Structures are given as C-alpha cells and as structure tokens.
Amino acid sequence: MSFFKFDEKLLALGEQAKAGCVNEFRRIDDIARYNQQKVLSAFIKNGVSESHLGVSTGYGYDDRGRDTLERVFADCMGAEDSLIRHNFVSGTHTLTVALFGLLRPNDRMLCLTGRPYDTLIGVLGIDGHSDGSLADYGVKYNQIELTSDGYPDIEAIKKELAANTYKVAYIQRSRGYSLRPSLSVNDIKKLCDAVKEVSPDTYIMVDNCYGEFVEKNEPLQVGADLIAGSLIKNPGGGIAPTGGYIAGRADLVEKCAYRLTAPGVGREVGASLGHSRELYMGLFSAPHVVGEAVKTAVFAAKLFENAGYAVTPKANDIRADIIQSILLGNSEALVAFCQGLQAGSPVDSFAVPYPAPMPGYDNDVIMAAGAFTLGASIELSADAPLREPYAVWLQGGLNFHSGEIGVLSAAQSMLEKGILTL
C-alpha cells in the first residue's frame, strides 16, 4: 500500500483484523445479495424505464418517474405505499411530516425506546417550548425509559398502553448517538406484538434511520404501520443528493402526503426536477453500499478490539444498523481519530477538524466528514462529543476498500500522536 504511509505494525494489525472478520463479511454479503435481488426484482416488476428518469417541473402533475419510484420503494420495504422524494430536506423533516400526518390535537404519542434522537426533541416540544412543535398543537407526549441493559421495557409499555389511549407508538430502530443497542427487526417484532396485543388501533411508527437494508426484513414486515428515514443515509445509496421517505399502510401514507404538500392535494404534486434518476440509482445501489458500510464498521470494531479498546457493537455481534462506536477513553484520542479519518477522506482531506460547541449539546463536539454530499452519513464519517465515555461514533463507507483506508488513517493519526502503541 505504497500510496499511504501507514506504520508496518498497523498494516499487520489491519490484515489480522480483516482475517478475523471473514465470517461476518460472508454474512454481510449474504444479506446484501438478498436485498439486491429484492430491489432488482422491484425495478423489474414495476417496469422501470428510461422514460422514468426524466425531468418534471412546475406542479409535477403526472410525473410517472416519481410515481413509479414510489411503487418500487414500497415493494422494497414491504409497504402498501410510499413517498420517496427529494423535497424532504432531512431525516428530521421526514419524521416531522409523518408525525404531523398521523397526530391530531389531544392525541397521545408514546415513545417505546426512551429519549428520541436529539433533533426530535424540538419537534415533540419537550424540554421547553418550541414554536410549531407537536406540543404546541396539543399533542401529548410520553416515553417509556429503556431498561438498565438498554432494551425496551415491554411490561412497562403494555401497562401504559392499557392505561391510556395512544394514537402513535414510536420506535427508534438505531441507537443514534447513544450507547444503547440498536434494535434488530426481531426486537421490533416483539414491540409490535406487544402493542397490537394491548392496543390494536395504535399506529406503530418506526424511525428507520440507519437501519434500511442492514437485515433481510424491514419493520413493516413484522407489524409496524409506518416507517420513515433519510436518503442521505442508507436508502439513498450515496447517490441521492438529498431527500427522505415514508412508507407503510396506504391510508397512513396518504395522511402524510396531505401534510407534505396540502390537504386534498397530497402526492399528486411535487416536481422531480430531474432528481428521479439519482433516487433510482441510489436505491438500486443501496443494498451493496449498505453492505460496504457495515463491513467498514465491522473492520473498525475488530481493529480497535485487537488494539485493546472497548467497542459496541462488538466485531462479531449481529448488526442492526451501520453505526459503530469505539470507546477511545479521552479527548486527545477522539481528536486524533477524527483528524486521521478526515485526512483519509476523498473530499476536504486537507481540512483539520477541531472540537467546537454545537447547538443541542452541552459539550464540544468534533466531527470528521469528507463527503461528496454535505452531511451524508452513508459516506464514511465520525462524530464525537467530548464527554464521558469519550466514544466516537463511526458510520458509512461507500466502498470497503476506501472505508478500510479511512479507518487505518484514523488509527495512524492516533499512533503518530503517541495515543495508540503497537
């Protein structure tokens, strides 16, 4: 590997790590192959054609490319219907449209997985006033805390659902930037079964961010009613330039469409502006790209495990999303890791990230992101708040060969600063 100046011992550690991931890589390939067949067959079944890849403008009436993509995506997710559009500006916006689509004043929403992802706090309007939040519109929010091992508390959930009527039960599949385990589709099935048993009319909505195509099944196939996520994560395949999706029961998707555009107008409008081609291509590539990202995560886990660090999930654990956290133990290590990862990125490799204050965090945060799409976390990237337990969250990697270099570059930077010794 003469293009990069990596320490010989580090290269040996990298080879050893890869050799220790053979079974995991085989499992990942098996899932990617299955999901690729699922996606390809959805393209064929829906007769995707060259004419679907074109441009619509203005209102976007009768945009066959957009409408067909929504049927293809629904088939990929095991959904009756879907919205998949560049008009969603982020994952948070997509989840917001879905929540406002489902909930009405005085309805109750119960989060089954403890405190939701940071950006949802303002949407819900908890922790103080947030103008235009669900709380502002009279929606009542409640959450069931996770048990001490980080899993949902099924008994407490059933008890609360029996005591009060909830319109929405909300599940966050990925750990996000916490250290709790991410939920497997099977874990989600247990939650769905519990909700349906006690409160069959409650809509089960899943924040599916970072989980798409990591397993063979998706949450809608085990009882969820609606899922939503971001296209600059897994299902955009690194090609979608922006956007989000909502998929699930047709009646619920329709409610969301009325919220996305206007009541009575719904999904019939929305010019694709030429983005359909990127959304089709991204979806087509997504199973493979997600597999590469999961391989990168597993490789990083193994390398840092072998170097003596605690990692979660462990290299050999079954994966439920693309996120890997590595407990590096102190600020200097977090900074060295992120600076090294950045230096190994295809874009902005020369930039040197430093910790800085971030809205919504009490501590400084350092981030490494050398991505083609601003903020895309299906591309190799890392984030670390400078606080206990001094963990870095690593995700993405468009292909394993470059993901491997990025991870080695992070380790090399720690080595050069005397933080890692081999």
Ligand X SMILES: *Cc1c(COP(=O)(O)O)cnc(C)c1O
Which positions lie near ligand X, rule CB under 6 A? 90-92, 117, 119, 172, 174, 176, 207, 209-210, 230
Query: Which of 105/359 has CB closer to ligand X?
Result: 359
Q: Give the shortest CB-382-to-ligand X separation in angstroms.
A: 14
Q: CB–CB of 187/151 below 8 Å?
A: yes
Within 8 A by CB and 6+ apart from 333, the residues are 390, 414, 419, 420
Minimal distance, residue 77 CB to ligand X, in Å = 17
Please report how close the Cβ of residue 177 comes to ligand X at its closest, in angstroms: 8
Closest approach of Cβ 233 to ligand X, in Å?
A: 6
Q: Least distance (Å) from ligand X to the CB of residue 234?
A: 10
Give the three-state DSSP class for 50: helix
Which residue, 174 or 339, has its beta carbon nearer to ligand X? 174
Task: State in angstroms the smallest separation of the CB of 90 from ligand X.
Answer: 4
Task: Output 68 or 172, the one with its CB closest to ligand X.
Answer: 172
CA distances from 87 to 82, 90, 260, 284, 321 (A): 14, 9, 9, 20, 25
Here the tokens at position 360 are: 């919504």
- Taking alpha carbons only, the member of 207, 278, 202 closest to residue 240 is 278
209 φ/ψ angles, rounded to the nearest 5 degrees? -50, 135
Closest residue by Cα to residue 165 from 195, 193, 131: 195
177 or 258: CB nearest ligand X: 177
Query: What 3-state class would DSSP assign to 309?
Result: coil
The candidate with the shortest Cα–Cα distance to 411, out of 2, 126, 11, is 11
Residue 109 or 414 having the CB closest to ligand X: 109
Report the residue number, 118 or 317, with the smaller CB distance to ligand X.
118
Distance in angstroms (rounded) separating the CA atoms of residues 81 and 73: 8
Burial tier of 121 (Cβ tally within 10 Å: 0-12, 13-18, 19+): middle
Nearer to ligand X, 92 or 413 (CB): 92
For residues 258 and 263, give the distance between their C-alpha atoms in angstroms, rounded to a whole number. 4
Q: Which is nearer to ligand X, 48 or 83 (CB)?
A: 83
Helices 276-306 and 22-45 pack at an angle, to 10 degrees, of: 170
- 191 versus 408: smaller Cβ distance to ligand X: 191
End-to-end CA distance of the chain: 19
3-state secondary structure of 151: coil
Closest-approach residue to ligand X (CB): 91
Q: Which two tokens stand for residue 374?
A: 């601003």
The CB-of-409 to ligand X minimum distance in angstroms stands at 24
Minimum distance from residue 275 beta carbon to ligand X (Å): 17
Q: What is the side-by-side strand order in the sheet with 381-385?
A: 310-312, 324-327, 391-395, 381-385, 365-369
Burial of 171 (0-12, 13-18, 19+ CB in 10 A): buried
Taking the complex as a whole, the smallest distance from the CB of residue 70 to ligand X amounts, in Å, to 20
